[in-house]
Chain A
């Protein structure tokens, strides 16, 4: 049983103008899979289409072998798919506690136990739980965004560029946290521009070019393949 399978997906914001054109991806349970590719390759559109935020015109998406293609975005967290958007990924006018409490109310999970688990996983957040999310630093905000997406105990967690806007040190801290999250039994799919950081924690990676998956391999294979790097990944922040 695959955790998440995407088959020949076509998706885009305008009818007849697909940005994702025949992308396929297979993610095994408890894997970390990175979706890489040059700017404009359609990585974010792909992950948003899976999350129900971009219309799908062809292909299928299966979550633990159950078809979820084109399902409304608000249904997916109830069905075990968590999503962390790239920007504006926390409710800035609510406190850390209220951000998590809201998600727990919506997803009908036992608040005390689940928030306790999450605060144990994210002790930095626990220390300032009454602070407004809008006042958090970039790294802490990203941690809260991940914690919020984990409230419903998703089987698969998808992240859209979790390193965006963070210093290299903070990227390291956030990505280490993702490894800890995986250790709790969560499958992770992350779209990343920061190839080096993503490949450092990923088991496997897929390279997306012009909306379709061109290369899929283990992180080690892709990291050591100079042709792949030159052809598809280009110059990236993580290598500087």
Chain B
């Protein structure tokens, strides 16, 4: 039981970080971006590319303490975050920005499907379809709770790293949104873009910040997924529905809702495995989603306007 909860939190962390991007883009740019999953994949693969680059210069990665990865993966994560943000800004410049001027929300949604296809196929063309790993080091799981207490609990240091960095990212984002002028401007733009403009907010700058934050968190989530599972071109596609389930469940537009939604979806998936089996665990997230929306149609943190 404890083990399933811990596993759920690890899966939930990846989903939560990805769902924040989905919900931010929805609230500021007013469309559901189905290409967001691809930012996770690109983030994961860009980090892998940077890791190979570092390995070519400094030799193979030496594990850092109990972790399966070394400092070069952390540096690669930084490189991937910057490169993924640049990719998101490029897609916006070439595609979404053009459509925002004349198109409707549905045009943007359909365009995001197209962008997802292009990004996924381009990635597969460049990197191939064979799964990859950041590290092939074998990790010894740490026993935190003995087996006779609720089935016991063992976690790997990598899983603890994922949970810790997710918490740091969410707290950092919270401080950014509540304490900085740009963060407050993002909140205001999500409530009323036209009023934001006449209040003196540069909405184009807010949009750029939205893509950057969403993409950076997507890159982190992609690397976490690659670290705890493996790197595959379908990584983002497989996570897309859970990302949307989390964002909607939490109340689309709410960052805190996306985090809570991500953790709930992760827990629902993990806890359902002994009952329905691993094949059907994705379905349980949607049963939870439907149940919560029946009770609270705006989602957990959604605001009625």
Contacts and interface: CB of A to CB of B under 8 A. Distances in A.
A103 B203 CA distance: 14
A52 B187 CA distance: 22
B119 interface: no
The contact size tier of chain B is 10 to 19
A51 B303 CA distance: 30
Interface string A85-115: 1001111111000000011011100000000
A74 B203 contact: yes
Interface in B182-237: 184-185, 187-188, 191-192, 194-203
B181 interface: yes
Given A74-B201, A74-B203, A78-B200, A89 B191 contact: no
B185 A73 contact: no
B201 to A, nearest CB: 6
Given A91-B188, A93-B303, A94-B188, A102 B199 contact: yes
Contacts, number: 64
Residue picked from A88, A90, A92, A105, most chain B C-beta under 10 Å: A105
Interface in A55-81: 72-78
Interface residues of A, number: 27
If over half of A's interface residues share one DSSP class (helix, strand or loop), that class is named, otherwise mixed; here it is loop
A239 B286 CA distance: 59
Given A74-B197, A83-B198, A93-B303, A88 B203 contact: no
A169 to B, nearest CB: 26
A148 interface: yes
A75 B202 CA distance: 8
A85 B184 contact: no
A52 B185 CA distance: 19
Nearest to A132: B303
Contact of A77 (B187, B200, B305): B200
A92 B185 contact: no
Given A91-B192, A92-B305, A152 B200 contact: yes
A5 B159 CA distance: 64
Contacts of A76: 198, 200
Contact of A105 (B184, B191, B197, B303): B184
B203 A92 contact: no
Contacts of A73: 197-198
Contact of A85 (B187, B188, B195, B305): B195
Contact of A51 (B196, B198, B203, B305): B198
Contact of B199 (A53, A88, A103): A103
If over half of B's interface residues share one DSSP class (helix, strand or loop), that class is named, otherwise mixed; here it is helix
Contacts of B200: 74-78, 103, 106-107, 152
Nearest to A78: B200
A148 B199 contact: yes
A92 B198 contact: no
Given A74-B201, A74-B203, A93-B303, A102 B188 contact: yes
Contact of B191 (A77, A85, A91): A91
Contacts of B305: 92-93
A111 to B, nearest CB: 11
B82 to A, nearest CB: 27
Contacts of B184: 102, 105-106
Contacts of B185: 102, 106
A88 B305 CA distance: 11
Contacts of A52: 197
Given A91-B191, A92-B191, A102-B188, A85 B198 contact: yes
Contact of A53 (B188, B192, B194, B303): B194
A109 B62 CA distance: 52
Nearest to B180: A105
Interface string B147-189: 0000000000000000000000000000000000100110110
B207 to A, nearest CB: 12
A90 B195 CA distance: 7
A1 to B, nearest CB: 24
Contacts of B181: 105-106
A44 to B, nearest CB: 13
A75 B305 CA distance: 28
Given A91-B188, A94-B191, A103-B200, 5 more contacts: A53-B198, A73-B198, A74-B202, A103-B199, A106-B185
18 contacts: A53-B194, A74-B201, A76-B198, A77-B199, A77-B200, A78-B200, A85-B198, A90-B195, A91-B191, A92-B305, A102-B185, A103-B199, A103-B200, A105-B181, A105-B184, A106-B181, A106-B184, A106-B185
Please give me the 3 A-B residue pairs with the lowest Cβ-Cβ distance, nearest first.
A77-B200, A73-B197, A105-B181
